[in-house]
A and B are shown apart, each in its own frame.
Chain A
Amino acid sequence: MVQEKDQRGLLIMRHNEKITQEIRRRIAHNKFRDHLFWIIGLLSTLIGFVVLFTLIIDLFADGFPRLSWSFLTSYPSRFPEKAGILSAWVGTTLVMIVTAAAAVPLGIATGVYLEEYSKKNWSTHIIEINMNNLAGVPSIIYGLLALGLFVYFLKLGESILTGGLTLGLLILPMVVISTRESIKAIPNSIREASYALGATKWQTIKDHILPYSIGGILTGMIIGLSRAIGETAPIITVGALTFIAFLPSSPVTSAFPFLTFKWLFDPFTVMPIQMFNWVSRPQKEFHLNAAAAGIILLLMTLVMNGFAVYLRYKFRKRIKW
């Protein structure tokens, strides 16, 4: 700054050239750093993207020619060109049903309890910390726990039920966490509005808390199932078979009461195990089968994630906060 006097003799301040240049130099320096980070960010993004893209392209190049109707409707075979994934995808579907049926009600109830009912004291704090850490426990640990609990102790056998419950345990923390997060997003003023009208806690939960958070809860459930569908380790631990040439008994029967749960206790295999089995064989043709099964597994995950996006849109479009 320089100080000068104007015609009236008043002191005025004016920037001089030197200071302007200094400011411009500094801006140029800052902008350079701006660009630098832009480049670093872009490169990081590209690395992830390119690797993933290459993997998928490779998978499609290998597996796509093997995809056919008979691949989906055939049992595994000694002959790679006759082998299919019927028992695997049926097994995966049934296990997922059990997983969802076990984890979702339990997870939602836990989440609602922790958010709306439990007092905030040290014991709920410990439960909370445990719950968050459980989401990061390696899946094989769940497999070991399930082997002891479901197979040896409860004698549920090496069955679809055991597999589903094991994966249910695995995704339970995710369902709980997503339930809690979406309940937390509901403003307290909505709760107070409900209570002020004389609603009980349960009325508030069933009329407001659950309906307004269901989009987020379902999204969490599907993200959990998407993780569960690719799990191999815990399923092998509880004794899923690697080669299976029959289907579990049908849940629908011709005789009364037309529904049976016998399939729950049947042995099974799932997609990732079938893939693992094929990859571990020496013949190149089996490797192609594994790639083709990978495409199907990827599609199943994609469909589930698409469904999650749809649910989120459907339930949240009317709720703004």
Chain B
Amino acid sequence: MPLVVSENLKAEVKNLSFYYNQVQALKNVDLPIAENMITALIGPSGCGKTTYLRCFNRMHDLYPGNRYQGEILLYPDGLNIVDSKVDPIEVRMRISMVFQKPNPFPKTVYENVAYGLRVRGENKKNLLHEKVEKALRQAALWDEVHDRIDDLAFNLSGGQQQRLCIARALATDPEILLFDEPTSALDPTATLKIEELIMQLKKEVTIIIVTHNMQQAARVSDYTAFMYLGEIIEFDRTDKIFTHPSRKLTEEYITGRFG
């Protein structure tokens, strides 16, 4: 199974293994991440797709006993972001993440979006205003919240909160944006909005999305990787995987025979 893409590479996973203490959760996985494309990770619960995604911004470093082996090369510079010599904070400054449940800070809408910039020491009011507005527009939230930018983020609806989290992740101009089942806590209308937004955003940023919803993967992504028990079973263009999967296991999963 050749893991190749025709576009420029934004990142490339080579022979990556990941361990929670003694348990190996990812087994020598490879994956090319095409620039300005959406790559979806699908698979049944417990297959390691979220674990995989969280390697890309070194979230596992927050908890003891976790260990990476192998490489995730970030292009153009070819930095191995899972190398223990690379500071996880540097990785997180280049690669943003949107979580499963909307998790805004109990601060104002404005301060939520501005926080990533503040972390980077940005204090100039004009620049902050500009970037906050830009990010909220990118996240298709500006029209809804521009007159209550100083309201608490908790007063927004669930879908708005998730778009706020997307704006927060975008404000720092990340190179890759990670989505971890971003619509699993949302209703169908809000889900549709987020999906449209994700498809819009690929013009500006490379996207990796984990989803348990196969239709969502089919709708939004360009490439899909099907994972099972910590391994990548199949990787291909999304249309190919959902119409002519080459592996039996993939076919069984996408036709709903397990998972």
Residues of A with Cβ closer than 8 Å to B? 119-120, 187, 189-200, 203, 207-208, 212, 318-320
Contacts and interface: CB of A to CB of B under 8 A. Distances in A.
Contacts of A197: 92, 96, 115-116, 119, 168-169, 172
Interface string B101-143: 1011110000000011011100000000000000000000000
Nearest to A187: B103
B99 A198 contact: no
B20 interface: no
B154 A196 contact: no
Interface of B: 57, 59, 62, 64, 89-90, 92-93, 96-97, 99, 101, 103-106, 115-116, 118-120, 152, 154, 165, 168-169, 172
A199 B119 contact: yes
Nearest to A200: B89
B165 A193 contact: yes
A contact patch SS: helix
A195 B92 contact: yes
Contacts of A318: 106, 152, 154
Given A189-B101, A203-B119, A195 B152 contact: no
B163 to A, nearest CB: 15
Contact of B62 (A120, A189, A190, A192): A192
Contact of A196 (B57, B104, B152): B57
B106 A319 contact: yes
A193 B105 contact: yes
A293 B22 CA distance: 65
A32 B259 CA distance: 50
Contacts of A194: 105, 115
Contacts of B57: 196
A192 B172 contact: no
B105 A190 contact: yes
B140 to A, nearest CB: 20
A119 B64 contact: yes
B116 A192 contact: no
A314 to B, nearest CB: 13
Nearest to B115: A197
Contacts of B115: 194, 197, 199, 207
B101 A195 contact: no
Contact of A320 (B89, B119, B154): B154
A9 B92 CA distance: 73
Given A189-B101, A197-B116, A198-B93, A212 B64 contact: no
A194 B62 CA distance: 12
A198 B106 contact: no
A208 B172 contact: no
Counting from the closest, the 10 A-B pairs by CB-CB distance are: A198-B93, A189-B103, A197-B116, A196-B97, A198-B92, A319-B106, A193-B103, A199-B119, A198-B89, A198-B119
B57 to A, nearest CB: 6
A192 B98 CA distance: 10
A200 B105 CA distance: 16
